[in-house]
Amino acid sequence: MHRKTFLAIPATAAVVAGSALVTSSGVSAQEGTAVVFEYSGAEQTWVVPGDVCEIEVDARAAQGGNGGGGQTINQLNQPNQLNQGALGGRAVASVVVTPGETLFVNVGGAGQDGGSNPGTGGAGGFNGGAAGGTSDGSGGGGGGGASDVRQGGNALANQVVVAGGGGGGGGGLDGGDGGSGGGSAGGDGGDSQDIPPATGGGGGTQATGGAPGTDTPGDVNSGGGGGGGGFYGGGGGGGGFYGGGGGGGGSGFGPAGVSFESGVQPGGGQVTLIYSVEPGCDTAPSTETPPAAPAQPVAAAPRFTG
């Protein structure tokens, strides 16, 4: 472990002093110095500065891609859902840290849009987004990647705060929308407007990944949307003839006191670490026994003899 008393700033991170992050829903992060990590397509690291023993993590996951081949009016002459990829989720939490330790930051990448004729599925976003389904006609959008912070190592088991990515939209004229990124749970993907429909993938939860959607009977000409990445990822949407189902959103995760918002982050993800310097916060209280007070002289009592 490298111990430093100065802030380690990756090339993709920016430092903003005296900032506070607040949204209309009331989810906010504490005031202090903010280190902002943008999407880079790779793991990033940050060394906790000296005299910093707690940080606020504000993680925002990425958006899913749109399904290919969407139209303004669907086959029933109704306004179409436009096969939209869903917005990423947000998680805000306090994390106890040790000065000098290295944290690992993964910022989710946006899912890519599906193609049309040929129906290539959109690529999933960095950090867990799944690719959209491929078909002859229109491909599904890729799922958005999760954003997370890991402590004590860079494995999935070391995640301490996670925001879930949005699901990709289903391909085709009548594809379903993706499910919103979590949140403690991701949103379910929307069904297509086929009869019967291709169903959307389920959202990820705190315990399991989302269930995959089901295909429509017969020919499949439109791919389903990819599931969003998360603590547990969303399920992929089913394929259909006129439209595929949307992918489910990924779930978020955090320690006690975490706050979540679902479906708030467009485009790529972002992670902000906010800290305040508290001199001596990592100094353990003394356990030494204080020395005994020196003995005080006692005047001798006079002795009398008769």
pLDDT in tens, 19-36: 334 333 334 445 689 999
Express the helix, strand and coil content of the chain in percent, nearest 5 each. 0, 25, 75
Residue ranges of the chain whose pLDDT lies below 70: 1-31, 71-82, 284-306
Model pLDDT, residue 218: 84
- Helix and strand numbers (H, E) in the chain are 0, 10
Whether the CB-CB separation of 21 and 34 falls below 8 Å is answered with yes
Model pLDDT, residue 287: 60
Token representation of residue 42 = 């790779």
Whether the CB-CB separation of 224 and 262 falls below 8 Å is answered with no
Strands 102-106 and 159-163: unpaired
Strands across the sheet with 159-163, in order? 44-47, 102-106, 147-151, 159-163
Model pLDDT, residue 69: 85
Whether the CB-CB separation of 176 and 188 falls below 8 Å is answered with no
Measured CA distances, 76 to 94, 193, 245 (Å): 49, 9, 17
Whether the CB-CB separation of 264 and 89 falls below 8 Å is answered with yes
Contacts for 88 with CB less than 8 Å, ≥ 6 apart = 60, 61, 62, 63, 108, 144, 147, 163, 164, 165, 166, 181, 228, 263, 264, 265, 266, 269
Query: Residue 2: how many CB atoms within 10 A of its CB?
Result: 9
**What Rg do the C-alpha atoms of the chain give, in angstroms?**
27
The model carries a pTM of 0.83
